[in-house]
Chains A and B, each alone.
Chain A
């Protein structure tokens, strides 16, 4: 794999190298903010005011900061799921479908389960069911890729479109709350949701998210299983040669990746939302992709970037209301980050080549 392809090879720990990595990480972010600001200017919105609202709400106000930390919980799970897939060289672009199906499963089961089971067991059961549903949903692309060699980029995308629609159908037809006229699932009472941390409004889901992403990082970098997955990612042919069962590992990668993303959906429901409304699709799956690339698929770095995305997400919602900028602006920003990041990696690669020559 060429160096321009955003790979996560662990670099030397020279100070110069760290500085270089900082430059090709912070640089693209700043350039992206400026470019996205130009887009805002073009549609007649003051970018300084927009970013000001984002920082004020997402980072500086106590309530906003707690919301930001709460928003991190599902995003961390998604980032963990994507790290597993990308490190193993597989493109799981079906995050949105897996996330929503996990969320709907949790929302459908948790309110009923709490009536018959003790609180923690009900939440755990709902959480596990969501995980299983998301995993099963990833089986089709996984098997197609593992045993038929069908490109997983396309299949996961297709399954994502299907999953989002299916989640909507389930909410509107199957799990509809008979108690309200609003099309939504039954609501998990606030008292039964995951506890808040200390005296704040921050969900304890944040802790689970942090545990998940650190665990994924350690498994991928410190265990034999992680090494196997990374071998498949780096060179599938070499992996076959080394005696690894690539098809089986492929299925495992998809299962783990989708399971983590499904957990993200579940944690958002049993911790924060309590129900799923019809046509709810936060589309976190796509927004987290650049985060994982910025972090070079490193779990610890990803925590930091998930925090930034979270600030942007919460602050953006507030800025959207105050300045009338639709949330789709986040998509524009995310896309500019992806492009500038890839260009920065390319320039860095060229610079290194020139220095060596």
Chain B
């Protein structure tokens, strides 16, 4: 038992938690912008799996993690463009299209992977870390938090960027209005469709990036259905965060610790079937929804397509 709480163990635990939290953070921040603007983006799981697949393929063939992240984000944006076209522009039911995109791209990526790699699952090389001088030498926290891939720091910096956008910019106000009272935004002379399209495309980019991180950094390989509901967890994070990016970060870290603890317990020799581990984040989500569900608040016009002149 003494080894259970050793320094290296705790550092590994924390490191795993951050690695597990980043995809959820990216998905949650992305979904948050869509929800703010009034689009419930159930298709985020489809955007994430596309990002994971293209992110992996990009990194695998180019040998560069950055090109992988780029192609992952681009893949997410491409799926989001489809969503924006169908749900924002012509106003189809967001839930039906969201389910369709999730199912379709889960199937399509599995299909493409099958024809490309058959039953083999090639791995990427080791992740290049960018240690932050001084901070990295703090015991436990140093190796866990400050010896990560550059994208991890950038993802966490995104939280600050989002806070700034929502609080200090015109775009932030427009997004908020597009979700709460789109007609008012329209009267003010701002294009609701355009505002919402921006939000959906941003969600796609973030989800795609999150998927690429999940595959390339988290797992080092692509397996069909690898996201396994991470996008949906992002939706819950966005719901519970009530529009606050910092809460998304906090929530993502809680889930990250949850996921990392079970992996760590397995490594430490506790015999837990993987199915139980897969259940834990969802159990945590349900517990949070039961406890705080009443306080989850969503924009008034969420899920309602905007059509000028229709009450």
| Interface residues in chain A, defined as those with a beta carbon under 8 Å from any beta carbon in chain B | 2, 4-6, 39, 43-44, 91, 93, 140, 144, 148-151, 153-155, 157-159, 161-162, 165-166, 168-169, 172-173, 286, 289-290, 293, 325-326, 328-332, 334-336, 338-339, 342-343, 346
Contact = CB atoms under 8 A, between A and B. Distances in A.
Contact of B107 (A93, A158, A329): A329
A5 B91 CA distance: 9
A339 B278 CA distance: 30
Nearest to B114: A326
Contacts of B290: 140, 144
Given A150-B296, A286-B103, A331-B104, A346 B111 contact: no
A158 B286 contact: yes
B190 interface: no
Contacts of B81: none
Contacts of B293: 144, 148-150
Contact of A331 (B103, B112, B298): B103
Contacts of A169: 273, 275-276, 279
A155 B289 contact: yes
Contacts, number: 144
A172 B273 contact: yes
Contact of B236 (A5, A154, A336): A154
B11 to A, nearest CB: 29
B39 to A, nearest CB: 14
9 contacts: A93-B99, A154-B289, A155-B289, A158-B236, A162-B279, A328-B106, A331-B104, A335-B102, A335-B104
B251 to A, nearest CB: 14
A interface majority secondary structure = helix
Given A157-B229, A158-B232, A334-B104, 13 more contacts: A43-B111, A150-B296, A158-B286, A172-B275, A326-B114, A334-B100, A335-B103, A338-B100, A339-B86, A342-B92, A342-B97, A342-B100, A346-B92
A162 B294 contact: no
Interface string B219-250: 00000100011001001100100000000000
A331 B275 CA distance: 23
* Contact-residue bracket for chain B: 35 or more
What does DSSP make chain B's interface, helix, strand, loop or mixed?
helix
B115 A43 contact: yes
Q: Which 7 A-B pairs have the closest CB atoms?
A: A335-B104, A331-B107, A338-B100, A150-B293, A328-B110, A332-B107, A168-B275
Contacts of A39: 108, 111
Nearest to B284: A158
Interface in B90-138: 90-93, 95-97, 99-108, 110-112, 114-115
B158 interface: no
Nearest to B105: A335
A162 B286 contact: yes
Given A140-B286, A150-B296, A330-B107, A6 B232 contact: no
